[in-house]
């Protein structure tokens, strides 16, 4: 390779002592490249999955908060200022913040050096968020590294990546000698036993239950077998459900009468200890459940040590175990696992030959060889880029930098909330007990919790789940089981003040519950949300309020994500969409392209509902009307000076009449932000990104009075903008409006942020 060797090589991913496979890989490849290039400076950036971080070695020079999008930009600044010659990114959707790990793109779009991205997961059928992130990674990476030929095939067929951009480099492994297992068994206390091993972070996708189901048949034929399950339960699984999976495996072993043949070693072991366990192994089992696993570091380690392997045919295993280098068995088939294990144990010559084949192939996978191939990829990236010399501030004008959003601060929402739910109103910044609670605001608060708790979502509140529980409990109590209607207002003494709330409040509850059923990561929340949504859905069919139709449609849109075949929800979506379309046709004119003879409150929700249904059904007419109506609304809510001016609540806007400019309400800005983001998703037209930004900046002071409504010190938002002043009360509706807008502006940053600065 004629290209120059990079002098400063940066790596990005997890890093030990964090317990995850990506952290282990990043550590290993960084150290291997450092050993292979003593004249180069190798350093790393570590992604933290917890606020307190880890005690990293000196090799780690900077850290990122998984859920803190701004830290990704700061990391890009660090890399640029320190003149890294190449950045090697370890990519796995789950380790970066944002939907499908999209926060990573905020870093990649700002770094100035060539980027080599190692793809640890490749999906043949990605969802919309995963596809957008992958397309962003592909655009912003100079080289892509995959660890199997199947990975290169997926990149070509699914994403259209040319072969010339892809390097196939196997997963690295430590260089271990080819030894007989008996030498290590005494150290582990399993001398005289046949050792089957599965190791790695433990979780349901590992399929260990099928290996345990196979044990009775194996033990009947080979009574001296012991199955060793080595590894800690995945920390994220522990956080969600404790040791539920491991305990189920222990009960299964007892039920099948093989508990004397199973050893669970619940620990994340060091490499030196792992070598001893691998050394003592006779047969390695990987009964994984998902064919689409493109990489398995655990398989690579044991295979490269020359151990016999029985595995399900996920993609990485298919390639490694081909040509008599192991035995493949069908997924979820204990009998086949037993037959595979016994085929080796019944035929020692077959087992020895398979081991020799694996060990010989594994010599190409040891870390020095893998490091050499990564260095070659780095050199190709540098040669391909032909980059101009980097200057720290070159091109860093406002027009080229992503839009900086305020940091999330939930203090005031916490202050306004108690065990019952969130209180409606505040006097200045003090909760007003006299006004009690309402379903409207608890629905909004529950939606916010679910937006903030997206995978890698960004929230600093450790009590977010507790808050969500309170808001959902309020919605559950609000449901009148006798009438199927949600009540709205509750006194501070927890007395309901009505038998049924407004149509709008009922529909907002459906919207919140559809969101919970679709997005919550709390299983109980998802189930209760779905149950309440089902119970309250029928009432919406009789509603006459267009906004209630719109809120219901947004709830249905969310609910159909996990339940796409739900016939009642689909039928109601079709009916309500038709009603909104017919409203438009009856009322809209060339000069008044709107659904009603007046534009009143949360107007953009009508357009947004048609945008969602138009895409989801699909219905081209609904989508077109959604865009036309929103375009008109944007035009009448923009001043000559270029800032957002929502239709005021002191008179609204009657056709052929004067529009009210005040009082301006935060929910109007929020509705506009949300609808414009959806319009951008539907069209990819950057003008909608600019409209979303314009509406959001109303909160921050780009408004008629040039006064901010958002208080960055507490996370509170004022209740409105009068003609001469800001309303200094900071109620729930207003504060939630700001935070819902902020969450949505943060949520799709890879779609919204880059265009926001253009043309302003």
- Which tens digits make up the pLDDT trace of 412-452? 999 999 999 999 999 999 999 999 999 999 999 999 999 98
Of 7-11, 64-68, 576-580, minimum mean pLDDT range: 64-68
pLDDT attached to residue 70: 84
CA distance 253 to 477: 43
Identify the band that residue 183 occupies on the pLDDT scale cut at 50, 70 and 90: confident
pLDDT attached to residue 458: 44
pLDDT attached to residue 392: 45
Identify the band that residue 68 occupies on the pLDDT scale cut at 50, 70 and 90: confident
Q: Is residue 400 part of a domain?
A: no
Residues 641 and 733 in one domain: yes
Rounded to the nearest angstrom, the gap between the alpha carbon of residue 352 and the centroid of all alpha carbons in its chain is 44
pLDDT attached to residue 270: 79
pLDDT attached to residue 2: 54
Residues 139 and 280 in one domain: no
Average pLDDT taken over every residue of the chain: 92
> Is the Cα torsion angle 87, 90, 95, 97 positive or negative in sign?
positive
Residues 166 and 274 in one domain: no
Instruction: Give yes or no for residue 239 having a pLDDT over 80.
Output: no
CA distances from 548 to 136, 197, 426, 502 (A): 37, 58, 26, 9
Residues spanned by the domain of 466: 411-757
Q: Which of 297, 330, 363 is the last residue of a domain?
A: 363
pLDDT attached to residue 254: 96
The 3-state secondary structure of 119-141 reads: ECCCCCCCCHHHHHHHHHHHHHC
Residues 143 and 195 in one domain: no
> At 734, which CATH number?
1.50.10.10
CA distances from 638 to 17, 134, 262, 642, 643 (A): 52, 36, 69, 6, 6
Give the residue among 753, 644, 758 at the shortest CA–CA distance from 709. 644
pLDDT attached to residue 750: 35
Of 31-35, 405-409, 531-535, 658-662, minimum mean pLDDT range: 405-409
**Cβ 552 vs Cβ 509: under 8 Å:** no
CA distance 592 to 632: 8
Q: What is the pTM of this model?
A: 0.69
Residues 628 and 734 in one domain: yes
Residues 57 and 118 in one domain: yes
pLDDT attached to residue 454: 60
Q: 273-310 burial string, b = 16+ CB within 10 Å, else e?
A: ebbbbbbbbbbbbbbbeeeebbbbbbbbbbbbbbbbbb
Residues 244 and 336 in one domain: yes
**Cβ 469 vs Cβ 521: under 8 Å:** no
The 3-state DSSP class for residue 535 equals: helix
Residues 552 and 696 in one domain: yes
What CA dihedral angle connects 626, 504, 559 and 131, to 10 degrees? Answer: 40
Residues 128 and 261 in one domain: no
Of 454-458, 484-488, 647-651, 653-657, minimum mean pLDDT range: 454-458
pLDDT attached to residue 272: 81
The 3-state DSSP class for residue 582 equals: helix
To the nearest whole percent, how much of the chain has pLDDT over 70?
Answer: 94
H or E, element range at 30? helix 21-36
Q: Is residue 732 part of a domain?
A: yes
Q: Is residue 609 part of a domain?
A: yes
Q: What's the number of CA atoms in the CB half-sphere (13 Å) around residue 108?
A: 28
Instruction: Give yes or no for residue 3 having a pLDDT over 90.
Output: no
Identify the band that residue 461 occupies on the pLDDT scale cut at 50, 70 and 90: very low
CA distances from 72 to 67, 111, 324, 486, 656 (A): 9, 10, 45, 43, 50
Q: Which token pair is 723?
A: 């003609």
Q: Is residue 393 part of a domain?
A: no
Query: Max alpha carbon distance in the chain (Å)?
Result: 93
Instruction: Give yes or no for residue 148 having a pLDDT over 70.
Output: yes
pLDDT digits (tens, 9 = 90+) for 591-601: 999 999 999 99
- Number of structural domains (the chain) is 3
Q: Is residue 320 part of a domain?
A: yes
> Is the Cα torsion angle 58, 62, 66, 68 positive or negative in sign?
positive
For 423, left (φ over 0), alpha (ψ -120 to 50), or beta?
Answer: beta
> At 19, which CATH number?
3.40.50.2000
Residues 72 and 167 in one domain: yes
DSSP state of 202: B
* Region 90-106 average pLDDT: 91
H or E, element range at 466? helix 464-478
Instruction: Note if the bond before 660 is cis, omega within 30 degrees.
Output: no
Residue linked to tokens 């089981």: 481
Q: Is residue 3 part of a domain?
A: no
Q: Which token pair is 319?
A: 């390639």
For the chain, report the end-to-end CA distance as a whole number of angstroms. 46
Give the residue among 88, 145, 98, 96 at the shortest CA–CA distance from 122. 145
CA distance 727 to 721: 6
Instruction: Give yes or no for residue 402 having a pLDDT over 60.
Output: no
Residues 619 and 715 in one domain: yes
Identify the band that residue 388 occupies on the pLDDT scale cut at 50, 70 and 90: very low
CA distances from 316 to 21, 50, 171, 313, 344 (A): 15, 30, 10, 8, 21
Q: Which of 328, 363, 398 is the last residue of a domain?
A: 363
Q: Is residue 330 part of a domain?
A: yes
pLDDT attached to residue 240: 76
All residues at 6 or more sequence positions from 588 whose CB lies less than 8 Å from its CB, including other chains: 594, 595, 629
Q: Is residue 401 part of a domain?
A: no
Residues 380 and 440 in one domain: no
Q: Which token pair is 381?
A: 């990236």
The 3-state DSSP class for residue 374 equals: helix
């Amino acid at each position: 390779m004629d290209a120059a060797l990079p002098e400063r090589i940066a790596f990005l991913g997890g890093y030990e002592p964090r317990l995850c496979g990506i952290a282990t890989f990043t550590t290993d490849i960084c150290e291997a490249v450092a050993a292979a290039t003593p004249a180069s400076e190798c350093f790393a950036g570590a992604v933290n999955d917890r606020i307190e971080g880890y005690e990293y070695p000196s090799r780690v020079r900077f850290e990122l908060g998984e859920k803190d999008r701004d830290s990704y930009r700061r990391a890009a600044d660090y890399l640029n200022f320190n003149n890294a010659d190449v950045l090697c990114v370890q990519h796995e959707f789950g380790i970066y913040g944002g939907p499908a790990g999209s926060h990573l793109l905020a870093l990649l779009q700002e770094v100035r050096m060539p980027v080599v991205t190692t793809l640890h997961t490749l999906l043949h059928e990605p969802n919309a968020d995963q596809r957008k992130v992958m397309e962003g990674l592909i655009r912003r990476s100079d080289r892509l590294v995959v660890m199997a030929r199947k990975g290169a095939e997926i990149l070509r067929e699914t994403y259209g990546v040319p072969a010339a951009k892809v390097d196939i480099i196997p997963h690295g492994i430590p260089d271990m000698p080819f030894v007989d297992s008996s030498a290590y068994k005494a150290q582990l206390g399993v001398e005289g036993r046949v050792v089957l091993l599965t190791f790695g972070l433990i979780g349901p996708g590992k399929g260990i239950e099928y290996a345990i189901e196979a044990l009775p048949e194996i033990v009947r034929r080979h009574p001296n077998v012991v199955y060793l399950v080595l590894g800690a339960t995945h920390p994220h699984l522990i956080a969600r459900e404790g040791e539920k999976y491991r305990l189920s495996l222990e009960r299964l072993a007892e039920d099948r009468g093989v508990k004397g043949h199973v050893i669970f070693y619940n620990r994340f072991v060091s490499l030196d200890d792992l070598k001893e366990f691998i050394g003592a192994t006779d047969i390695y089992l990987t009964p994984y459940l998902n064919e689409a696993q493109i990489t398995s570091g655990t398989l690579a380690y044991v295979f490269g040590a020359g151990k016999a392997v029985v595995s399900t045919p996920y993609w990485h295993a298919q390639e490694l175990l081909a040509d008599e280098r192991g035995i493949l068995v069908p997924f979820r088939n204990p009998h086949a696992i037993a037959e595979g294990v016994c085929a080796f144990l019944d035929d020692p010559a077959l087992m020895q030959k398979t081991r020799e084949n694996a060990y010989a192939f594994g010599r190409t996978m040891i870390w020095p060889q893998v490091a050499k191939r990564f260095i070659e990829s780095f050199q190709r990236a540098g040669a391909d880029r032909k980059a101009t010399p980097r200057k720290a501030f070159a091109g860093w004008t406002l027009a080229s930098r992503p839009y900086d959003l305020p940091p999330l601060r939930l203090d005031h929402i916490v202050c306004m909330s108690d065990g019952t739910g969130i209180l409606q109103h505040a006097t200045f910044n003090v909760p007003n007990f006299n006004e009690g609670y309402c379903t409207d605001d608890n629905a909004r608060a529950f939606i916010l919790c679910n937006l903030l708790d997206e995978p890698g979502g960004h929230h600093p509140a450790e009590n977010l789940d507790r808050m969500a529980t309170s808001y959902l409990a309020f919605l559950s109590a609000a449901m009148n089981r006798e009438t199927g209607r949600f009540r709205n207002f509750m006194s501070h003494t927890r007395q309901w003040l009505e038998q049924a709330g407004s149509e709008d409040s009922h529909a907002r509850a459906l919207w919140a519950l559809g969101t919970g059923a679709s997005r919550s990561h709390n299983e109980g929340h998802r189930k209760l949300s779905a149950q309440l949504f089902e119970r309250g859905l029928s009432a919406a069919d009789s509603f006459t309020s267009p906004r209630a139709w719109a809120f219901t449609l947004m709830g249905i849109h969310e609910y159909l994500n996990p339940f796409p075949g739900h016939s009642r929800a689909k039928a109601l979506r079709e009916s309500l969409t038709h009603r909104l379309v017919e409203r438009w046709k009856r009322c809209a004119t060339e000069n008044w392209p709107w659904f009603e003879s007046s534009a009143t409150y949360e107007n953009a929700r009508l357009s947004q509902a048609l945008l969602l249904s138009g895409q989801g059904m699909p219905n081209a007419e609904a989508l077109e009307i959604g865009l036309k109506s929103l375009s008109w609304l944007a035009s009448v809510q923009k001043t000559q000076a270029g800032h957002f001016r929502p239709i005021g609540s002191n008179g609204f806007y009657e056709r052929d009449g004067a529009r009210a400019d005040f009082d301006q309400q935060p929910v109007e800005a929020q509705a506009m932000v949300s609808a414009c983001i959806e319009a951008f998703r539907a069209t990819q037209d950057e003008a909608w990104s600019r409209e979303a930004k314009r509406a959001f900046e109303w909160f921050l002071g780009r408004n008629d009075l040039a006064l901010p409504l958002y208080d960055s010190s507490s996370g509170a938002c004022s209740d409105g903008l009068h003609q001469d002043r800001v309303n200094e009360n900071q109620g729930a509706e207003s504060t939630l409006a700001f935070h819902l807008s902020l969450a949505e502006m943060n949520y799709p940053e890879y779609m919204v942020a880059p265009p926001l600065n253009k043309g302003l």
